[in-house]
Structure 1
Amino acid sequence: MPHRLTRPALPLATAAALVGGLLALGTTDRADAAVPDTVPLKITNNSGRSDQVYVYDLGTQLSSGRQGWADANGTFHAWPAGGNPPTPAPDAAIPGPAAGQSRTIRIPKFSGRIYFSYGRKLDFRLTTGGLVQPAVQNPSDPNRDILFNWSEYTLNDAGLWLNSTQVDMFSAPYAVGVQRADGSTAGTGHLKSGGYTGVFNALRGQSGGWGKLIQTRSDGTVLRALSPLYGVETGALPANVMDDYVNRVWQKYTTSTLTVTPFTDQPNTQYYGRVSGNVMNFTNSSGAVVTSFQKPDADSVFGCHKLLDAPNDAVRGPISRTLCAGFNRSTLLVEPHQPDTTTANFYKDAVTNQYARAVHAQMADGKAYAFAFDDVGNQESLVHDGNPQQAYLTLDPLS
């Protein structure tokens, strides 16, 4: 729940492409029964907050490719034409459950997001190109002072993919789950006890500007921590925050080889990286150069884009996502065979994605989508079922 649903967090338009790649991995738990047009989503409010909760189901209708929203019954409504400047979107808010209560809505076959907010409705606008998502890294965004978050999902004929995401920000905590045909359930996304404040405390205690990722309201309420990508873009983090590590990686692989095996089910598909002329060239088993990477900056590393662009292809994309995971987790110096799936090696270097480190450390099961390709090595907070009976979204305490 990557623009790329399930690698969260880029714009919805990109999510579909991402999910497309994820779906291609296979659906081994697909049952014979056809996936219905809508699936129940049980929303439980364990936040302990008295604020009114508002819920939104926004996305792309997979049968038509149209963007819009779904009401509580799962009925699709296409967005009307937008404008320039953006015009207010129709009110798509669904009243959520009160504290200690649950409410079940139905979600349709979308590639989309389930937003929820506390106390105030979100402000959505429409341009001529479609929906404008909240962008709270912008101080003038109308949603800047609202406590909110979102989950990403894809429901299609092959089943349900539902994840929690921290790719854009860490904010109001929640968990996701799915009930299978045999009655069993799978879930992910819960924080440890004290984990919510634990993430913010870890960032505040980390030198180098990481505490500046935290946004608060004028009344002192902590709203969220921005991802380091937005930290670099807004100047909260220095642009050279990853340079030392990147330089050491480039130096190491000037005289040694980085072996990438991007597909777990294709162990014989390997690519070999060496740095020459400040460029890392990857060759295949025949010695032919298949793709090359300029030395990435922090923006490219944290966003898994730009100099680490990952097209939805069979070669560059899989290599790039492996590199991206290795840079964010700082495993490229300790393990020349990537991806490194040994979690004990993650985030150990002094120069690393401290945001991702803090988030993963506070997750009850260790799983999170703390950067775009956190699913490399199956570290993502994702549930999937080919024949979902019910989905779950649980709003957890802000403590």
Structure 2
Amino acid sequence: MRTGRRTLRRTAAVAAGVPVLLSAAPGHVSASTAAVRTVETAAAAETRTAPPALLPLTVTNRSGRGEQTYVYVLGTNLRTGRLGYVDAAGAFTPWPAGANPPSPAPDVAIPGPAGGSTKSIKLPLDLSGRVYVSFGTKLKFFLTPDGLVQPAPWAAGDPNRDILFDWTEFTYNGSGLWLNTSMVDMFSVPQAVEVTAGDGTRRRTGDLVPNGRERILDAMRNQPGDWAKLIHRRADGTRLRVVSPHKGIDTGVFSPTYMDGYIREAWATYRNTTLTVVPFADQPARKFLGRTDASGVLNFTDASGNRVASFARPSTKDVFGCDGRLQAPNDPVVGPIARTLCAGLHRSTLGYVHTQPTTDASRFYKRTVTDHYSRKLHAHTVDGKAYGFAFDDVGNFESLVHDGSPRSAGITLTPF
């Protein structure tokens, strides 16, 4: 079965222009994302080959741009819980102690590939984190006594705001590699990810349709409402990125009540109609039944009639962040139900499709009030897969590759 996603715990004062802070404590995923972990059966674990201690990872530059690129491999050592960085040879080094106010982190940039070329690096086993790539300028990271301050370019005071960059996310452990593109916070640099299995089988996802980046940005610019305000331009006119509506709410450029009417209608629907949640595709008999009570709380019972979860009506920000009143703990009941509700609201199927999740993508994003950011990302990918919001993996619509015994992996910066 599929489990909840994990990332590093973060605390950020975005409104004050403070970038994302990642502490050493692993925690539940919030609006920022990490790769999906899959639980293997004991039999599968026994038959597969153990992942190599150092996994070859190539970064290929097919962007068509001429700037110098810089690569950063940052993450958490899963054995020790220490935050650190990796050099091109795959050696992990913990970060030194930081300070208050945050002190500059050491320069750990790996010279990236020039246009049309490839940079080969090694990914060590038992690491979970991000691979950043920037164009033209090195990224600026900072350290506090509690952790690493990562770029948050949606915040006006962030020193990386005018840099063209993006990242992919990964987990590499004894169960294999999970590697995914992520647009949960923003979309900037089109990338594809791939993994090659021990038998030579190759899986790839993340490719955009031709001229996909410009088409996404144009579509956001032309979407009525606050959506165009999510696009960031540099002084030279370069469209650097489009940020998610959740980040737009954080920074005051997107309406914090955008979804409120739809959410209210969805919760009201289940006063007289039962919502059936079947969160595990491989356990179709495991169902949770939801009804909204007189106080506006959506309560769920299990097959025995026991109440197992309750959700007060969330805010627009809760939905776009899949957090707050939709917070999804890494447990076998409340978290899976919360993930399902959040996905249904983003895709505007909740309140209309009464068994959730639905995996019929033809029914997604059909309402006027919907997550148009995620809709446009999915619409401009070759295979329809994208990580447009934190629980876009519900139903397997995320841009993720996984293999339990990988031979190699790759990240390609595709044309734009």
SS at match of 1:358: helix
Tell me, in whole angstroms, the C-alpha distance in 2 between the residues paired with 1:27 and 1:95: 41
The CA distance in 2 between the partners of 1:169 and 1:24, in whole Å, is: 29
Shift of 1:232: 1.3
**1:54 is aligned to 2:84:** no
- 2:332 is aligned to 314
Contact persistence 1:217–1:223 (CA under 8 A):
yes
Task: Give how far 1:22 is off.
Answer: 2.4
Aligned partner (choices 7, 10, 28) of residue 4 of structure 1: 7
Q: 52, 59, 73: which one pairs with 1:36?
A: 52
Q: Scaled by the length of structure 2, what TM-score is found?
A: 0.91
Alignment match of 1:165 (pick from 160, 170, 182): 182
Match of 2:37 in 1: 22
Amino acid at match of 1:330: S
Cα distance between partner residues in 1 of 2:366 and 2:311: 24
Shift in Å, 1:326: 0.1
* 3-state SS of paired residue (1:22): coil
Deviations 1:83-134 (A, max 9, x none): 0000111111000110001111111121010000000000000011111111
Q: Check whether the contact 1:16–1:111 (CA below 8 A) recurs between aligned residues.
A: no
Over 3 Å counting, the alpha-carbon distance change for 1:372 and 1:391 in structure 2 is same
1:4 deviates by 3.2
Structure 2 residue corresponding to 1:99, chosen from 95, 107, 115: 115
Cα contact 1:232–1:298 (8 A) shared by 2: no
Find 1:372's aligned residue among 390, 396, 402.
Answer: 390
SS in structure 1 at match of 2:271: helix
Distance verdict in 2 for CA 1:383–1:111, change over 3 Å: same
Once the two structures are TM-superposed, the CA of residue 57 in structure 1 deviates from its matched residue by 0.3
1:164 Cα shift?
A: 0.5
1:69 counterpart = 2:69: no
Q: Deviations over 1:301-331 (max 9, x none)?
A: 0110001000001111000000000000001
Contact kept in structure 2, 1:322 and 1:376, CA below 8 Å: yes
Provide the C-alpha distance between the structure 1 equivalents of 2:58 and 2:412, rounded to a whole number of angstroms.
Answer: 8
Q: 1:222 aligns with which of 218, 223, 239?
A: 239
Structure 1: 5+ residue stretches without partners: none
SS in structure 1 opposite 2:375? helix
Indicate conservation of the 8 Å contact 2:357/2:395, yes or no: yes
Q: Which structure 2 residues correspond to residues 173-212 of structure 1 after superposition, within 5 A?
A: 173-212=190-229
Q: Across the two proteins, how many residue pairs are aligned to each other?
A: 394
Shift of 1:2: 4.6
Query: How far apart are residue 334 of structure 1 and its match?
Result: 2.4
The answer as to whether partners of 1:212 and 1:237 remain within 8 angstroms in 2 is yes
Q: Runs of 4 or more off by more than 6 Å in structure 1? A: none
| CA distance in 2: counterparts of 1:25 and 1:301, whole angstroms | 30
Kindly report the root-mean-square deviation, in angstroms, between the aligned alpha carbons of the 2 structures.
1.9
Are 1:27 and 1:386, in contact at CA under 8 Å, matched by a contact in 2?
no
CA distance in 1, matches of 2:63, 2:26: 28
Spell out the pairing of 1:76-155 with structure 2 (5 A cutoff): 76-109=92-125, 110-155=127-172
Corresponding residue for residue 407 of structure 2? 389
1:3 touches 1:11 (CA, 8 Å); kept in 2? Answer: no
Distance 1:20 1:163 in 2: 6
Residue pair 1:281, 1:291 contacting (<8 A) in 2 also: yes
- Report deviation, 1:345: 0.4
Matching residue of 1:279: 297
* TM-score (ref. length: structure 1): 0.95
Q: Aligned partners of 1:171, 1:371: CA distance in 2, in Å?
A: 15
Letter in 1 for 2:58: K
Distance 1:142 1:397 in 2: 26
> Could you say which residue in structure 2 is the equivalent of 1:344?
362
| SS of structure 1 residue aligned to 2:195 | strand
Structure 2: segments with no counterpart, 5+ residues:
9-19
Note the alpha carbon deviations across 1:255-303, whole angstroms, 9 max, x for none: 1110001111111211111111111111112222111111111110011
Is contact 2:230–2:244 with CA below 8 Å preserved after alignment? yes
Question: How far apart are residue 227 of structure 1 and its match?
Answer: 0.7
* Partner residue, 1:357: 375
Cα distance in 2 for residues equivalent to 1:25 and 1:338: 25
Q: Which moved more, 1:28-37 or 1:288-297?
A: 28-37
- CA distances 1:228-254 after superposition (whole Å, capped 9, x unpaired): 111111121111100121111012111
